[in-house]
Structure 1
């Protein structure tokens, strides 16, 4: 590699890193001990899965407390409050949590949220708030809805080199694809599933092979997917893209060089996605109540043919 090429690559990495690390950074989640989750059969009914996950959260809270991590223990107990339904949970490492809002067993419109960087058990509450906000907005338009908050991978740190490459996304996609296919066992046969993918989560979704159960994929606050066009994504779903005018990620260089960066901007007409209005949303504002972006995402999930109450 020539000196000029190395310089260009270094400058690119620096530009992407500078853009990506700017606003919503959280301290790295410490490695707090937690028990391994109890094995649950794929054939187990929803209520059994929910009970096993809540037991796992309680066990992780006790272990965190006993090891001197009272802050983590308190956050875990708050997660498992009254009415909480977790499809799965693993307190080890950064942590994994899949939470359900609404009734999967009766929902014919289901949104699966895929988060971006710095989402872990210590920052889970902000992810949860977005899921709750979306579910409330969906129910205002149609009663048979559910939202699945899928923290099913080790998200990269906002201030890290991992956020600049697709390595974490590739591993996450290998988990997300089977999860989506398996979710059909717990839903009505005619249920539509939409993937709503935020920030680095859009890189995950852009690398996830989906089946016919996924009808729509929405990319928002996206640095790119690694694909040149929407047609290159491994999905037959309708692909949507939106970005708020207040989102700093619009300043990220949408290029890809030497495995760094994620290529074409999904809101660029050249990408070929259907665009949706996101108003003045900032990078962490897309699912806030009363926003144009939340309304747009809800309409994507519901679809124009959604039956009314």
Structure 2
């Protein structure tokens, strides 16, 4: 018999048919029944995995997980029931199609006999023979068409909330391994459900193509099945993100719901998006942070946030520096552990990591290779005296340890000359410094022009983060760093208490005097000039940077510039412990193996830097 099992008669040339393929109907019933059973039995392992996950899951997010698991179970059983109803409806329509075929066949046969009777009656009338069979002995079958019962294949999946809507006051805790076991089990069962959904959709398509006689009133079941699977996948991804958060926070830690709301969201929550928007103003960032209820979050909690969020927070001017440090520390570890790094990046990241320790904070680190970075020696959230240390030519985070040690020397000397005040010194490797000649970058201002806004942004960031509680601020710059820093201190909205220049490679001509620099006091120190190739006699490079630049740059120690100058060639100074002999600087660098660099311990230069950056500029030893 043909696929359609078409039945008909030829009365008057018309073809009476029914478009219904029993085989297609049987296939749909079989698949719907199979998937129905699969959904019911597949829930056993899913429920067991959910129960295991809940064993060490507590707090608002445990409640949300329980709600999601309950919603999934309800949806799954509702979907299974809908498939059972679909199978029953198709069976009913198949039976109705059989009865309609039988009625049509009976009617066609009767019409054939009726035609025969009519022909016999005509022949008898013409031939005068006996009568034909009486019609009442062969009544006409029903002419009432059997209509199929409408098939309603309907189902819609429920929405599942995936946020606790919490604050830092509410907390949740979980075992990430148990959560991952749940998602593995859930995804496994979902793969089986997805295969069943595909088979069901194919059987439905064949049924609709070959069973046009059937009346389908609703068919939302298939879109609903897809939505159910999408919700399941979203649940698994959501739980994975929660597991990631707890893994990053470390074993045994509870997390605030406010942190998990961000870490577990598929998209960054709207209240957090403004904070991460490109170019957000530091004051705006400070205000947004204050409104996020994260002020009491612990270090491990903040580390639970996704890496891409942490990468932004770590460099976001205006938010607390403890938060930036936690974010950057996590990103640093992630980058190193990722492996397969460019050798330059690897050296820089490992140098940055080696520079950290107690009382040291990674307050910025970019994604560049090598990264730009800044390490604060001291707590910027509480310090009453803050000094930016801006390096010069050849500086790079590949050698972060050397500049951090120089910053440590400054901080230690500040304590010696001014007591144990809460201070911070920032080893600011925050711009791309020019390399040494024969590269000619040191002889122009391109690197300084690019770096100046970055330094200015860092200073504005402290203004915003410490608004109403601003510490004394200082900028100490060395070599080409003085070119960069002086430009930075002419930017809008920037002011510091003291700017200190040592070994200057020159101040741009656009800054003709110290009065143009936005600092209450401007200091400059310079060791005696000496020829290149004759080390151990003085500074062999600073004057070359000034005099051979295009255009030439200004010497901040010249009287015409107007800075307060101090000595760097060695002196005997009075201290509370008595006279102290201080070594002179014999090199352009900040430290040397003979301890005769500008920031080496025991030098006149370091002592004067410490005095100038603690508000004791009146005590510096004079230049000679």
Structure 2 length-normalised TM: 0.40
Give the Cα–Cα distance (whole angstroms) in 2 for the partners of residues 290 and 133 of structure 1: 10
Pairing 1:67–2:372 present: no
Q: How far has the Cα of 1:249 moved from its partner?
A: 2.7
**Larger CA Rg, structure 1 vs 2:** 2
1:248 pairs with 526, 529, 540, which one? 540
Q: How far has the Cα of 1:48 moved from its partner?
A: 1.3
Could you tell me whether the CA contact under 8 Å between 1:226 and 1:256 is conserved in 2? no
Per-residue deviation, residues 187-214 of structure 1 (Å, max 9, x unmatched): 4724111110110000011211255640
What residue in structure 1 maps to residue 564 of structure 2? 274
- Cα RMSD (Å): 2.6
Per-residue deviation, residues 55-106 of structure 1 (Å, max 9, x unmatched): 122123234x423736555434323445531111124223211111112223
Uncovered stretches (5+) of structure 2, i.e. residues with no partner: 1-306, 529-537, 570-583, 590-596, 619-624
Give the Cα–Cα distance (whole angstroms) in 2 for the partners of residues 270 and 185 of structure 1: 35
1:38 pairs with 286, 305, 311, which one? 311
How many residue pairs get matched?
A: 269
How does 1:1-309 map onto structure 2 within 5 Å? 38-40=311-313, 41-63=316-338, 65-67=339-341, 69=343, 71-72=347-348, 74-81=350-357, 83-140=359-416, 141-142=418-419, 143-159=421-437, 160-187=439-466, 189-208=469-488, 209=490, 211=493, 213-227=495-509, 229-231=512-514, 233-245=516-528, 246-252=538-544, 254-255=546-547, 260-279=550-569, 280-281=584-585, 282-284=587-589, 285-304=597-616
Uncovered stretches (5+) of structure 1, i.e. residues with no partner: 1-34
What residue in structure 1 maps to residue 93 of structure 2? none
Give the Cα–Cα distance (whole angstroms) in 1 for the partners of residues 598 and 408 of structure 2: 13
Give the Cα–Cα distance (whole angstroms) in 1 for the partners of residues 318 and 477 of structure 2: 28
Give the Cα–Cα distance (whole angstroms) in 2 for the partners of residues 223 and 68 of structure 1: 32
SS in 2 for 1:181: helix
Deviates more, 1:278-287 or 1:186-195: 186-195
Give the Cα–Cα distance (whole angstroms) in 1 for the partners of residues 414 and 317 of structure 2: 28
Cα separation, partners in 2 of 1:261 and 1:180, compared to 1, 3 Å: same
Deviates more, 1:123-132 or 1:65-74: 65-74
Give the Cα–Cα distance (whole angstroms) in 2 for the partners of residues 262 and 253 of structure 1: 8
Whose RCO is larger (CA < 8 A, sep 6+)?
Answer: 1
Q: How far has the Cα of 1:38 moved from its partner?
A: 1.1
SS in 1 for 2:500: strand
Give the Cα–Cα distance (whole angstroms) in 2 for the partners of residues 49 and 253 of structure 1: 35
Give the Cα–Cα distance (whole angstroms) in 1 for the partners of residues 482 and 411 of structure 2: 20
Could you tell me whether the CA contact under 8 Å between 1:61 and 1:72 is conserved in 2? no
What residue in structure 2 maps to residue 30 of structure 1? none
Give the Cα–Cα distance (whole angstroms) in 1 for the partners of residues 615 and 384 of structure 2: 11
Give the Cα–Cα distance (whole angstroms) in 1 for the partners of residues 442 and 562 of structure 2: 24
